[in-house]
Structure formats: C-alpha cells, structure tokens
Amino acid sequence: MKAHLKPLLLTLMIEGHEVNKVLVDGGATINILPKTMLKRFGKTMADLKPHNILISDYAGKLSQPEGMILLDVQISNVKRTTMFIVTLSKANFNVLLGREWIHGVGAVPSTVH
C-alpha cells in the first residue's frame, strides 16, 4: 500500500495497558471499542452502561451497540477519560478514536498526503 493511503495507527495506553493498532479516524463521530478488547482492560459486559445510539457503518448498515464504557486513555503526557461505544465489530484495529477524542485532547492529526 502506498504510504499516503495508509491509515493513521497509534500505540497508546488505555487503563494502564499498552494498546497498538489504535486507528485515528477523523470521519468517525464516536470512539469504538470492539467487545473482544474488554477483557484486556479487566472489564466485563456488566461494566457497560446502556446507550440508545444506533451506529451506521461505512456501508450504511445500522447496528445497536452492546453499550458504552468510560476508560482512561493516555498518549504521551495527555490523559483523558474517554467514552467508548462497545460493538461486536470484527475490525482490523484494536480501538477506533474518532472526532470526539481528537477534539477532546486538542489533537491535530497529520498524515502524509
């Protein structure tokens, strides 16, 4: 894949655990945590709070998430409690950080173009 087409992937800390393959997506309005990642942070489905949001994927398919959870996310010296929507997603990333997180930490994502 050409360098300018590669996604922006980070490694950062969530709940004190190093997490790689964190996709930063300026087109996403929410932060997504696949359900399979809950155990990594010592969390279970019982830790989720109900949420009435419907999510639309890139193909326009609507789905109801499993719930939401607040987790501490740290990159460098910036730490922020972040709301994640937990999904059954079988994505090729471990976590997706959208505009909610980008603006919340005052980040300016920059990629080669």
- Give the span between the Cα atoms of 40 and 33, in whole angstroms: 11
Q: Is residue 103 part of a domain?
A: yes
Region 56-84: mean pLDDT is 92
Count H helices and E strands in the chain, helices first: 1, 8
The number of distinct structural domains making up the chain is 1
**Please, what is the average pLDDT of the chain?**
90
Residue 77 has pLDDT above 80, yes or no: yes
Residue 68 has pLDDT above 90, yes or no: yes
pLDDT tier, 112 (very low <50, low <70, confident <90, very high otherwise): low
pLDDT at 1: 65
**Residues across the chain:** 113
* Closest CA relative to residue 100, chosen from 76, 61, 67, 73: 73
For residue 17, give the amino acid letter: H
Range of the domain at 14: 7-28+96-108
Q: Is residue 43 part of a domain?
A: no
Q: Is residue 78 part of a domain?
A: no
Buried b / exposed e over 7-46, threshold 16 CB at 10 Å, is: eeeeebebeeeebeebbbbeebebbbbbbebbeebebeee
Q: Is residue 35 part of a domain?
A: no
- Give the span between the Cα atoms of 75 and 62, in whole angstroms: 31
pLDDT tier, 11 (very low <50, low <70, confident <90, very high otherwise): very high
Region 100-110: mean pLDDT is 84
